[in-house]
Amino acid sequence: MPDYDVLISVAKQARENAHAKFSNFKVGAALHTPSGKIFGGCNVENATYGLTICAERVAIFKAISEGERRFDAIAVVTDTDTLTPPCGACRQLIWEFCGDVPVILSNLKGKTETISMRTLFPKPFDSSNL
């Protein structure tokens, strides 16, 4: 079972590296593996927005590129009063690569909420639909 406080801390640290000079909306994410490894990610924007990548996808792609294939939790941290869930594209990738993991939402004030991926993404499209 991952330590959610540690996962949130890594996501907060990753958030500090965000490149969000257009929206100023910095996001950090941290992905936990069953072996205890944690992969952080931050959002990286560009002027076209269409090529921007979210923190959750950065964390997933880093982990996959390092050979990891199993995950048991992901944390997402923003500096908002209302906790911010992953966008639709991130929900799709979290489902495909992580399955029904706990998604820990947090802000810089210490507010947290944990929600299952199945609750957040109730009718996913995946390889079973092909």
Q: Which residues are catalytic?
A: 56
Distance CA 56, CA 94 (A): 8
The dihedral built from the CA positions of residue 101, 104, 105 and 108, taken in this order, carries a sign that is negative
CB atoms within 10 A of CB 119: 9
For strands 38-42 and 73-78, give the pairing: unpaired
